[in-house]
Structure 1
């Protein structure tokens, strides 16, 4: 027991060191001329599971929101608003927070309640146009939600989203994530890997297909194929749709989601 507690504390300490290192490195190494600007079009972390490798411009606040309908074993669940707020605080550096989302059952009994509040920080490491963009995100889900839905205790995570623009509107991207749940009795660690193929159809519309694999310790993986599209109403507003299907018995049968995102620029003027 004491060994497990010591390991959990060590992981949290490591996360704190990562957060401090990210802030220091971004302040000293980020190149402002290659970082996102307010004149750039909106780039969101939704509707795919893979987050954008592009951060929010300095002085911009971005709000990303959505609602999902999920089906599993004859039951149906709806959750929303799945809101994430992102604020650019320095060149190539943003802070973000996932707000609590409510989950309710449309059919069949099950847990009801809210997810955790999850603040984080994201640094775009490689702001080089035409190259592979890479970012690193570190955050922690605070124990503010319903335990039956969000789990117990603080849950830190580290993510590495990347993207690569190809030719003729094609692009590929992906993300590696490590989740830690030190307060849980089992399943204290989970790895997630995603891979996306995206195609830009017009200047405003794009579509994607994504593989999502969650690999928890001591349990069967959850695997999904997620497809959808995004449409930019304006350079700073986007609507989206996605449909996912489970690839094994441990996964949801389906997930259908709609979303709306917007960005407000020039807050630091």
Structure 2
């Protein structure tokens, strides 16, 4: 039981220790460039500026156990409601099985709250997220019942355009019969190659309760068309038999500023 509670307690400990370091003037504003939660699995450690609405979208092709699937639009809507605070929602994605084995159907809708509690000592940006997947999708795609999760994305900018980031997530699945909890860890190395483009390599590990892990190596890049628009791509390969054989995808994201009052700053 102690092992099961440790990751959740770790998230709570970080929240309490970092709360004293949060400063509204350190969080993003409309003057900052777009920062998205895609195409890597690791989400941005930064929130959306206050009064900004950000839409992140993509399409993937994947293979597992000989089957093929296409899923889209993988849309996440993010709204900055206060300094260092955003509301976000993952809208249902449709998974189309184009080659058996596999299933077709929609995923759940999943609202969440994200609080940026950074920077903390050492110039590490850190956010805390609490969300819940609501039972609106197909059981074969999304699983059973409501599924809350706790998440902690972080990032650290190094020198010469290099940076590292990662994320710890605890998924809770109380309605499932066997795997009631999944711990996910990620780690990313990123390099800014131009003022508008960057590349990354990412490790993604899912560790279900009472089951073997799933491990992926993900890589890709982003290109900013403007300070508020971005295109991206990624290709991932499974590193063990529990992971998908591959996942490849492209995406487009954009941001609208100044929704609450006055023109964009």
Say whether the fold is shared (TM-score over 0.5): yes
Q: 1:248 aligns with which of 240, 244, 247?
A: 240
| Counterpart pick for 2:45 among 47, 50, 53 | 53
Aligned pair in 2 of structure 1 residues 258, 129: CA closer, same or farther (>3 Å)? farther
RMSD: 1.9
**1:73, CA displacement in angstroms?**
2.0
CA distance, structure 1, for counterparts of residue 152 and residue 101 of structure 2: 36
- 1:146-198 deviations in Å (ceiling 9; x for gaps): 01100010000000000000000000000000000001111000000000000
How far apart are the structure 1 equivalents of 2:121 and 2:24?
Answer: 13
Residues 71-125 of structure 1: CA deviation (Å, up to 9, x unaligned): 1122110000000000000000000000000001121242110000000000000
Of 49, 54, 64, the match for 2:56: 64
Distance in 2 of aligned mates of 1:58 and 1:171:
25
Name whichever of 119-128 and 212-221 sits farther off.
Answer: 119-128
**Tell me, which stretches of 5 or more residues in structure 1 are unaligned?**
1-10
The answer to whether the 8 Å contact 1:163/1:174 transfers is yes
Of the three residues 211, 218, 225, the one matched with 1:219 is 211
> Structure 1 segments of 4 or more deviating over 4 A?
none
Cα pair 2:163 2:189 within 8 Å, conserved: yes
Asked if residue 166 in structure 1 is aligned to residue 158 in structure 2, the reply is yes
Q: Of residues 110, 113, 123 in structure 2, which corresponds to 1:118?
A: 110
Distance in 1 separating the partners of 2:105 and 2:114: 28
- Residue 194 (structure 2) pairs with residue 202 (structure 1): yes
Q: 2:178 aligns with which of 172, 186, 192?
A: 186
CA distance in 2, matches of 1:37, 1:130: 22
For residue 176 of structure 1, give the secondary structure of its aligned residue in structure 2.
strand
Aligned residues: 248
**Per the alignment, in what secondary structure is the counterpart of residue 141 of structure 2?**
helix
* Corresponding position of 2:96: 104
> What are the superposed Cα offsets for residues 193-245 of structure 1, whole Å, 9 maximum, x if unpaired?
00000000001000000000000011110100000000000000000000000
Give TM-score, length-normalised by structure 2. Answer: 0.90
